[in-house]
Structure 1
Amino acid sequence: MPDQPAHDPFTTTPDGRLSRRRLLAASAGAAAAIGAVGLPVLGTAAPALGAAKGSDPDAGSSGLRAAPLIPPTNRGIILYSVRDRISAAPDDSGVPYGFERVLARLAEIGYKEIEFAGFNQSTEILGRQITPAEIRKILDDNGLVANGCHTSINATSFQQQLDIAETLGMKNIGTGSAPTNSAYKADWDAAADVWNELGRQAKARGMRLYTHNHDAEYSFLLDAGPRDSSGRQTRSSGIRRLEYFFGQTDPRYVFFELDIYWAYVARFKHTKFINANGVEKTSLFDPILNVADRTKRFPLFHAKDGDRRTDLANGYEMTPLGDGDINFQQFFQTIGERHFHHANWEMDTAPGGTENRGQSLDFAAKSYENMADLSIYLQK
């Protein structure tokens, strides 16, 4: 794969925190990078903060209107971020626990969509395990919609998983695991055959099947050069694993949830490969262009933030949304189709343990506020 245009996806400020000025600082660069490869740029970024509202005598004369970059109905959370409170037994901390209390709190914060990471809670709450039908009632009572789940995707249990998803009203069903962990085309071909068939089954039930990435899925295939003792090639043509899978799966049946954090980790980690002739080559991965080239295959995203830390193996340390260096303004503005895309906040390290039982829900509130602050200006 040829080198892609390198635009800087990072913005930094002395305090490392989110501001509209910080989020929008790279928008011009994003527009230039996307325009350079012939992709459309969505709208106009909101102007940087400078004067108080109403202080501009020309305000209202521009023909522009402010619009949320992520529509309110498309703002979600994967419950893995608050798994400590979903699974918690009743306690006297005053912090919500179990599905009923935690989902009510998330709705109060402003979230409209829920991505599930399992369907169990402490049996101490009801004296038994909660049922999918009971979870659905909690969703409905709080004005929440299930937009997906991370579950096990295999032919043996898939219809059972579809039954649960249907009860919860999901339009998407997925997994947090890769279709295969292999570096070889043959294994990705076999996975594509399975996923195409399961995707057909999901579509027949009114759902989309999706897979979620970590960084390894954007490492390079071993598909060129000399073979090892098992007959497998040991070098690369420069094709990335998941990008090969895009082409092997039917876009009518197989979809994707980009974890934005792990995509930028991949950009940091997976930059070099050895070609068929034994020569080291560099190929920069661009998360924005990865989506923009096939934006309708990505109905869901994990809006996960991270501090840029080149001293760490992954290049980042997870943070609440807005406390890190990933430019979500640039990302969501330039991929387009903002009403199609659904953003689920995630932070793997959000739980605070017994020392701070309320931390994950506090981070959820902060992250929602910063997600809601993302905006663009459009023509009236």
Structure 2
Amino acid sequence: MEEKQDRRFTRRDVFTASAGAAAVLGAAGLPILATATPALADSDHDRDHDRGHGLRVDPLIPSRNRGIILYSVRDRINAAPDNSGVPYGFERVLARLAEIGYKEIEFAGYNQSTEILGRQITPKEIRKILDDNGLVANGTHTSINAATFEQQMDIAQELGVKNIGTGGDPTNTSFKSDWDAAADLWNDLGRRARARGLRLYTHNHDAAYSFLLDTGPLDANGKPTRSSGKRRLEYFFDKTDPRYVFFELDIFWAYVARYKHKTYTDRWGREQTSLFDPILTVAPRPLRFPLFHAKDGNRNTAVPNGHDMVPFGEGDINFQQFFQTIGEYDFHHANWEQDTAPGGATAPAQSLDFAALSYTNMSELTIYRRR
């Protein structure tokens, strides 16, 4: 779990990497940044064609690292026994996800309907379901605070989870002093997690990549009202120890941040523009991001977030470019998430259907490598 030293990584590096990939693929007469179809990877003709150019086709996200956060199918995890014919509860839903092809699970709570067992399921029973289906728990969204942290780590280890985290920010304010205090706490909790063989991580929404208030005139409470241009979570990167504190980038919310958080007021009261690039927030520190939420969206400027959530591979986000550029393919784990996947009573199978479609699209992302 040691972290490589952060390196300077610029937009030029992205262009250089893309140009290098384009040169290799172009020379081989192959499509650039294209998602392969099963025929591309499986046909004898294409394998022979690949050998002739000294290339091979590999999955961009290895099958063992393709996961799902159960929040996407929360409607079926929490469903009581019904006559819909759609799986419900941990035992049936996890079996279906394994059948689809998922190898990893990220938890978003440990409860199901008590109508299934006549009581609440236990972490030990959930672990057996994971093991029976060949599934591994790669993370969990739980409450991270000093009072309950040991108990939460006990549950995580019962489930075989290696990464323990939260779906919220370490602090919900814009002020530097609050992020300093959060960094002190998280460094301590992360040290305790590491001692038990766990990684502590936090997950972002768009606000995490809004601008820190750290300069300029003070308000009535003595708080700064303007920004140096530093973004909240990127400040937190530098204030936390890379040995102890890790991150899960929600790719959808990162692109929402790119859309929403473009301007800030500097210390002199001037409006400044700064564009956020999700790729460039990961590329200098790829080993601080063991987990990703592979969440897709279609651009829609008619809605406040500028994007609508859709199943993975059905939107506008260029996951091929994203994962290819950040590298460290074997280290990164991609968990599909779609907050809007549940279909309710009118479409009880929708979230599991979206899970299947998203898995197929994720598995068809490929990368060309020299042999």
Asked if TM exceeds 0.5, the reply is yes
Q: Which ranges of structure 2 fall in alignment gaps of 5 or more residues?
A: 1-8
Q: Does 1:188 align with 2:179?
A: yes
Counterpart in 2 of 1:336?
327
User: Match for residue 131 of structure 2?
Assistant: 140
CA distance in structure 1 between the partners assigned to 2:139 and 2:49 by the alignment: 44
2:144 paired with 1:161: no
1:357 to 348, 364, 370: 348
Closer, same or farther: CA 44–267 of 1 in aligned 2, 3 Å: farther
Among 272, 280, 297, the alignment partner of 2:271 is 280
Give the C-alpha shift of residue 34 in structure 1.
5.4
1:32 aligns to 2:15 (yes or no): yes
Alpha-carbon distance between aligned partners in 2 of 1:42 and 1:160, rounded to the nearest angstrom: 50
Name the structure, 1 or 2, with higher relative contact order (CA <8 Å, separation 6+): 1
CA distance, structure 2, for counterparts of residue 329 and residue 276 of structure 1: 39
Task: Using the TM superposition, give the Cα deviation of residue 310 of structure 1 relative to its aligned residue in structure 2, in angstroms.
Answer: 1.2
Q: Which residue of 2 aligns with 1:16?
A: none
Amino acid at match of 1:290: T
Taking a change above 3 Å as real, the CA distance of residues 42 and 195 of structure 1, as seen in their structure-2 partners, is farther
The offset of 1:5, in angstroms, is 7.2
**In 1, Cα distance between equivalents of 2:195 and 2:332:** 22
The CA deviation string for residues 163-222 of structure 1, in whole angstroms up to 9 with x for no partner, is: 000000011000001000111110000000110010011111100000000000000011
1:316 pairs with 2:307? yes
Shift of 1:44: 6.0
- Indicate how the Cα distance of structure 1 residues 150 and 55 shifts in structure 2: closer, same or farther if over 3 A, else same: closer
Task: Please say if 1:373 is aligned against 2:371.
Answer: no
Amino acid at match of 1:131: T
Shift, 1:60, TM fit: 2.2
1:212-227 alignment, distance < 5 Å: 212-227=203-218
Alignment of 1:29-178 (within 5 A): 31-32=14-15, 47=31, 48=34, 53=43, 54=45, 58-178=49-169
Letter in 2 for 1:166: Q
Check conservation: 1:43, 1:376, Cα contact below 8 A. no
The 2-side partners of 1:58 and 1:320 are apart by 32
> Residue 105 and residue 372 in structure 1: after superposition, are their counterparts in 2 closer, same or farther (change >3 A)?
same
Cα offset, 1:231, TM superposition: 1.1
SS of 2:97's partner is: helix
Shift of 1:232: 1.0
Deviation at 1:59, TM superposition (A): 4.5
Contact 1:31 1:41 in 2 (8 A): no
List 4+ stretches of structure 1 deviating above 3 A: 4-7, 33-36, 40-46, 48-53, 55-59
1:125 counterpart SS class: coil
Root mean square deviation of aligned Cα: 2.3
> SS of 2:323's equivalent?
helix
Letter in structure 1 aligned against 2:106? E
The answer on 1:289 being equivalent to 2:272 is no
Amino acid at match of 1:366: L
Aligned partner of 2:312: which letter? L
Q: Tell me which residue corresponds to 2:3.
A: none
CA distance in 1, matches of 2:248, 2:181: 21
Q: How many residues align?
A: 352
> Which one of 257, 261, 268 corresponds to residue 266 of structure 1?
257
CA contact (8 A) 1:107 1:144 kept: yes
**Measured at CA, do residues 34 and 91 of structure 1 come closer, stay the same or move farther in structure 2, by a change above 3 Å?**
same
CA distance in 2, matches of 1:258, 1:286: 12
Give the residue type in structure 2 aligned to 1:293: P
State the one-letter code of the partner of 1:219.
S
**Aligned-partner Cα distance in 2 for 1:338–1:251:** 19
- TM superposition shift of 1:41: 7.4
The normalised TM-score by structure 1 is 0.88
